[in-house]
Amino acid sequence: MASIGAPVCVVRRYKPEDTAAAQDIMTKTVMETVSDYFWSAIFTEVLPQVALLTIAFSYIGLGVPFYFCLLGIPTAIVIIYAVIWLAHMSKALEVGQEMTNIPRLFLEHPDRCFWVAEVLECSEASELDSFMNKMKKVEYHFMSEEESSAREAELRGTRRHVVGLLGLTKSMRGGMK
């Protein structure tokens, strides 16, 4: 069993008050790949194509001297990053909107379910670690919602935050018959 100061992870059913945390987790998840997509675009043919278009547009279309047109290369990098970031933000907003429909999509049907993983940890220890910027290996004690309810007195005074999501639904393809 976990001691009072040890961090505990409770896997429990979704509650309506978890919506904001679910939206935050999904937004961070979608936005996490921005840098990967950016570097992938920079090191492929996308950068030369966008740079050539900006240089050609500024030289031919706007009549800018060619030496100044070479600023189209850093401009192309900024344009690529902005487009990738905006596309990811659009997807994050779309997924965030879907998170508000969790009760309708998952909780109204008996063959669908949605769970959250909630970490309960001692406030003082985690704040001190984050203040000192220490990264350490933490081992969590996992328990069910029923077990955490039974040990509520022991877990009182811990800071709670949602760290993971899991949604399951039955396949609509029919499966084996």
In a domain, 52, yes or no: yes
Rounded distance between C-alpha atoms, residue 95 and residue 5, angstroms: 35
pTM of the model: 0.73
User: Based on the structure, what is the number of domains in the chain?
Assistant: 1
Rounded distance between C-alpha atoms, residue 157 and residue 121, angstroms: 9
Domain extent at residue 95: 34-99
Residue pair 9/118 in contact (Cβ under 8 Å)? The answer is yes
What sign for the dihedral angle of Cα 56, 61, 66, 72?
Answer: negative
In a domain, 45, yes or no: yes
In a domain, 166, yes or no: no
Report the pLDDT value the prediction gives residue 2, as an integer from 0 to 100.
43
Report the pLDDT value the prediction gives residue 32, as an integer from 0 to 100.
94
In this prediction, the residues of the chain whose per-residue pLDDT falls under 50 are: 1-3
CA nearest to 118, candidates 1, 29, 25: 25
In a domain, 59, yes or no: yes
Helix 34-42 / helix 46-56 crossing angle, nearest 10 deg: 70
Rounded distance between C-alpha atoms, residue 31 and residue 84, angstroms: 10
In a domain, 60, yes or no: yes
In a domain, 25, yes or no: no
In a domain, 171, yes or no: no
Report the pLDDT value the prediction gives residue 135, as an integer from 0 to 100.
60
In a domain, 91, yes or no: yes
